[in-house]
Amino acid sequence: MEEYIENRTIDPESDWDVSVRTEAILRLYPEYFNENKPHYEWGDDDNLVAYIQFAKFPEIIFRMLIIDYQDFIIMGEEEIVGYYSISNPKPGSNILAPKNLKKTKKQTDTDTNEEQDTNDEEIKLDEESDIQLPIYSTPKIIWSKGIVLHQNIEDGWAQAEVSKTDKNRVKVRVRGVKRAKMTLLAEILNWFELKGKDYKSIKAIECTCTKCRKADSLPYEIAYHHFQNLQKIFIPQIQCYASGELLRLDEISSVEQPEVRLAVLYAEEDLPFFENFYEFFKKQGDFKIELWEPRDLLAKPRPLEEILSVINRAHLVIFMMSVDFDNSPVIRQGIDRAIQLFKTKDILIKVIQLKSFDWQDHPLFKNSRVLSINPEPIELANNRAEAWRQVAKQLHREIEEWVKDLGKAGML
């Protein structure tokens, strides 16, 4: 036990051989033996909620959770748990009185004591005074059926309440910054999967659609593996059977949106066009986008190899077309490679027209069947912001249809 507490890790092959002794837990985490849940503030808005249902509950698992996550346990409010006295103080001596110090002045004409609290200040003792100094304690938010954790990561902060709700069931609810919430929930679910591997269990996510949040009955629960399966086949939303509402995977669970690998090719002179495009594109759609673009790739030691490599791995390639693309042999070779793949592989290629240019008659595009997203070049649009908004919207629609068709064909 001592070694386990010190290292906070155990051999996965012998998790249940470790004896998490009662006396050690009592000494280090006495709050664990409180039956009553301590008071603490918790907002229910925007929580991610998951359940782990065990066929047989592993009683030792909460003690292991406390030890593994001891550095992340939230501390409760400071409280006074008792007092200690300074008896027979030396007359005329000074003492720094702490906040909430209890000072008792003896009365010579009555048998009652007059008590008063003082702030931190230096007071002078006399023969008629007794000093009782408070003993403070800051308890951890732990009780016999639960624990509250706090974690800071690069994406922000998150807090998790992990509690046993009935005989064989654990509830995990997480609040905080979106990305941090997802990270902490995923970590806790993975921890239970590892530590409870010898105990059969199933995981579920609580639906937070409008109807489930307002319902008097219990919210609908969706098996966790459904989220994972949808991610694998590039379906970005899941449906609540109770309301019919569609929700993003990452809106109610720790599962990331399906990731689409996007390569954008443009001439150096057209960098401002790309920046405008991406500003609108990233605000729309339900897919997570991994983006590659020439600004990063051309700075590598072998830029052509880098560009060809990302095109070979991309799901989607966009050509931002203007007469300037002919000025870059590397970009031209990248376009040529993408078009060759387009003829033999399931890759989506689209053109965004930036400037007036008869690109379809260019030798690279003749007989290529590559189509443009926008019928009119961006530079000719009366309202460029609206033109970019429509381009981004149409491109996301094309991605969704393309992914759906591949899924139906069993190619994902």
> Which tens digits make up the pLDDT trace of 54-98?
988 887 888 888 888 888 988 766 666 566 666 555 554 444 444
The DSSP-derived string for 227-291 is: HHHHHHTT--EEE-TTT--EEEHHHHSSPPPPEEEEEEE--GGGHHHHHHHHHHHTTS-SSEEEE
Asked whether the predicted pLDDT for residue 256 surpasses 80, the reply is yes
Residue 111 has a pLDDT of: 44
Q: Is the pLDDT of residue 4 over 80?
A: no
Considering the entire predicted model, what is its pTM? Answer: 0.73
33/376: higher pLDDT: 376
Name the least confident of 72-76, 158-162, 399-403: 72-76
Q: What is the mean pLDDT of residues 354-370?
A: 85
Token representation of residue 345: 């592989």
pLDDT over 90 percentage in the chain: 30
Q: How far is CA 63 from the centre of its chain?
A: 25
Rounded average pLDDT over 312-332 = 87
pLDDT in tens, 319-328: 999 888 878 8
Secondary structure element (H or E) that encloses residue 95, with its range: strand 94-97
DSSP secondary structure of 145-169: TEEEEEEEETTEEEEEEEEEEETTE
Fold adopted by 2-74+143-206: TATA-Binding Protein (3.30.310)
**How much is the pLDDT for 184?**
95
Confidence of residue 384 (pLDDT cuts 50, 70, 90): very high
Where is pLDDT greater, at 341 or 18?
A: 341
pLDDT band of residue 17 (cuts 50, 70, 90) is very low
Quick one: pLDDT at residue 293? Answer: 87
Q: How many CA atoms lie within 13 A of 338 on its CB side?
A: 30
Q: For residue 103, give every residue at least 6 positions away whose Cβ sits within 8 Å of its Cβ, in sequence order, or none.
A: 97, 115, 116, 117, 118, 123, 129, 130, 131, 132
Q: Is the per-residue pLDDT at 304 higher than 80? A: yes
Task: Compute the distance between CA of residue 348 and CA of residue 336 in angstroms, rounded to an integer.
Answer: 14
Residue 65's φ and ψ, nearest 5 degrees, are -65, -45
pLDDT at 404 over 80: no
> β-strand 288-292 against 259-265: which pairing, if any?
parallel
CA atoms within 13 A on the CB side of 345: 15
Q: Which pLDDT belongs to residue 86?
A: 61
Instruction: Note the CATH number of domain 259-408.
Output: 3.40.50.360
pLDDT of residue 131: 66
Average pLDDT over residues 199-223: 86
Check if the beta carbon of residue 317 is closer than 8 Å to that of residue 348: yes
Q: Report the first-to-last Cα separation within the chain, whole angstroms.
A: 48
Report residue 89: phi and psi, to 5°: -65, 150
The residue assigned the tokens 């027209």 is 353
Q: Which pLDDT value is given to residue 407?
A: 61
404 or 323: which carries more pLDDT confidence?
A: 323
130 vs 277: which has the higher pLDDT: 277
Return the minimum-mean-pLDDT range out of 69-73, 74-78, 117-121, 164-168.
117-121
Q: How many helices (H) and strands (E) does the chain have?
A: 12, 20
Mean pLDDT taken over the chain: 79
**Which of the pair, 120 or 234, is modelled with greater confidence?**
234
SS3 60: coil
54 Cβ contact partners less than 8 Å away, ≥ 6 residues apart = 168, 169, 170, 196, 199, 200, 201
CB distance 249 to 227 below 8 Å: yes
Q: Look at residue 358 in the predicted model and tell me its pLDDT.
A: 86
| Per-residue pLDDT reduced to its tens digit, 269-296 | 999 999 999 999 988 888 888 888 888 7
